C-alpha cells in the first residue's frame, strides 16, 4: 500500500467477525445477485454512511465477489458503472479508490439521490419527463435543420449497431444529449448528461433484448421526425411516450429478477 493511502474498512476473515466492523452490515450476499445495481447500491451505502471515505482504496475484485456472493463479472460491471458516474477512480495496477467530492454539486446530488434501487425508478422517469420533454419541444422550435439531420443519422447508426449493445447504448445516450443541446440551455444540457449517465447504469441490461432495441428505434425515429417537422406538440408527446415506455420495459426486467 502506498504511503498516505487509507485502506477501506477491512473485510474480516470469519463470519463471527463480520458484525464487529462497520462494513459488515453492508457487505453481505445479495438477494438478487444477477443485478450489478445491487452491488452499486451496497457500495453506495458504504460511502454515504462514511464507512468508506474519499481517498480510500476499496477491497479487491475477488474479495468483493466473495463477500457479496456474486461472480467477478458482476463486480466488474458494478465498478465500471461507479467509474462512469465519477464515484470511483480505477487506477490500473494500483487499485480502485473512492473519489473526492467535486464541485459539480447539482450533478452529484442528483446522481446519488436516484441511483440505487428499482424503487427509485419512478423518480428517474419523472425527472426525465420534466427535463427531456421540454428539451424535445425546444429542439422542435429551433431554427436549426442540422439537429434533425443528426438525430436521424443517429437512428440509422443505432439500427446498424443492434448487435452491439454497448455501442447501441452509447448512441442512445448521444441521441438524448443532442436534443438537450438543441434546447440552448446550459443547465438542461448538464442535467441531460447526468440523466444519461444514470440511464447508462440502469438501462443497459434492457438493450440485451432485441424487442427493446426495436421499440427504442421506433420511438427515437418518432421523436426525430417530429423535430424535423418543427412540430413542438408531437415532439413533446413522442419524447414523453418514449421515456414512459422505456421505464416500463426496465421495470418489467427488474420485477422478474426478484
Q: How far apart are CA 176 and CA 189, in angstroms?
A: 10
Confidence of residue 27 (pLDDT cuts 50, 70, 90): low
The percent of residues above 70 in pLDDT, for the chain, comes to 74
pTM here is: 0.62
**pLDDT recorded at residue 21:** 39
Measure Cα distances from 214 to 108, 115, 248 in Å: 32, 26, 15
Q: How far apart are CA 54 and CA 88, in angstroms?
A: 9
pLDDT over 70 at 102, yes or no: no
Confidence of residue 240 (pLDDT cuts 50, 70, 90): very high
Cell of 28: 453481505
Q: How far apart are CA 215 and CA 212, in angstroms?
A: 5
Q: Of 1, 71, 58, which Cα lies nearest the Cα of 26? A: 58
Q: How far apart are CA 244 and CA 251, in angstroms?
A: 11
User: Which residues contact residue 24 at a Cβ distance below 8 angstroms, ignoring those fewer than 6 apart?
Assistant: 12, 17, 18
Q: How far apart are CA 82 and CA 88, in angstroms?
A: 6
Other Cβ atoms closer than 10 A to 180: 26
Domain ranges of the chain: 15-98, 105-256
**pLDDT recorded at residue 217:** 96
Measure Cα distances from 82 to 42, 96, 103, 202, 209 in Å: 12, 10, 18, 12, 24
Task: Name which residue leads in pLDDT, 236 or 40.
Answer: 236
Confidence of residue 49 (pLDDT cuts 50, 70, 90): low
pLDDT over 60 at 104, yes or no: no
What confidence tens digit (pLDDT) does each residue in 161-182 have?
998 888 898 899 999 999 999 9
- Within the chain, strands assigned E span 88-91, 95-98
**Mean pLDDT of all residues belonging to the chain:** 79
Q: Of 118, 81, 110, which Cα lies nearest the Cα of 191? A: 110
Q: How far apart are CA 6 and CA 118, in angstroms?
A: 32
User: Which residues contact residue 128 at a Cβ distance below 8 angstroms, ignoring those fewer than 6 apart?
Assistant: 195, 243, 247
Please report the DSSP string for 155-167 in residue order: HHHHHHTTT-HHH
CATH topology for 15-98 is Arc Repressor Mutant, subunit A (1.10.10)
CB-neighbour burial class of residue 215 (10 A; exposed 0-12, middle 13-18, buried 19+): middle
**Which ranges of 97-120 would DSSP assign to H, the alpha helix?**
105-114
Task: Name which residue leads in pLDDT, 150 or 102.
Answer: 150
Domain 105-256 has CATH 1.20.120.530: yes
Amino acid at each position: 500500500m502506498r504511503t498516505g493511502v487509507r485502506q477501506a474498512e477491512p473485510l474480516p476473515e470469519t463470519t463471527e467477525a463480520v458484525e464487529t466492523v462497520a462494513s459488515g452490515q453492508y457487505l453481505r450476499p445479495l438477494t438478487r445477485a444477477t443485478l450489478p445495481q445491487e452491488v452499486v447500491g451496497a457500495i453506495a451505502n458504504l460511502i454515504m454512511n462514511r464507512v468508506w471515505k474519499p481517498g480510500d482504496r476499496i477491497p479487491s475484485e475477488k474479495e468483493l465477489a466473495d463477500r457479496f456472493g456474486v461472480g467477478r463479472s458482476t463486480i466488474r460491471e458494478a465498478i465500471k458503472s461507479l467509474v462512469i458516474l465519477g464515484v470511483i477512480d480505477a487506477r490500473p495496477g494500483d487499485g480502485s479508490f473512492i473519489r473526492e467530492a467535486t464541485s459539480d454539486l447539482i450533478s452529484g446530488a442528483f446522481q446519488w439521490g436516484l441511483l440505487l434501487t428499482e424503487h427509485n425508478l419512478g423518480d428517474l422517469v419523472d425527472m426525465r419527463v420534466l427535463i427531456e420533454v421540454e428539451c424535445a419541444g425546444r429542439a422542435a422550435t429551433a431554427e436549426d435543420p442540422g439537429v434533425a439531420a443528426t438525430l436521424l443519422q443517429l437512428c440509422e447508426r443505432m439500427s446498424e449497431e443492434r448487435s452491439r449493445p454497448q455501442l447501441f447504448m452509447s448512441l442512445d445516450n448521444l441521441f438524448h444529449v443532442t436534443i438537450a443541446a438543441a434546447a440552448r440551455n446550459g443547465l438542461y444540457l448538464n442535467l441531460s448528461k447526468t440523466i444519461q449517465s444514470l440511464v447508462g447504469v440502469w438501462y443497459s441490461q434492457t438493450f440485451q433484448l432485441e424487442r427493446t432495441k426495436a421499440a427504442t428505434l421506433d420511438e427515437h425515429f418518432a421523436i426525430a421526425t417530429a423535430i424535423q417537422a418543427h412540430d413542438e406538440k408531437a415532439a413533446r408527446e413522442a419524447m414523453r411516450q418514449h421515456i414512459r415506455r422505456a421505464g416500463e420495459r426496465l421495470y418489467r426486467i427488474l420485477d422478474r429478477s426478484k
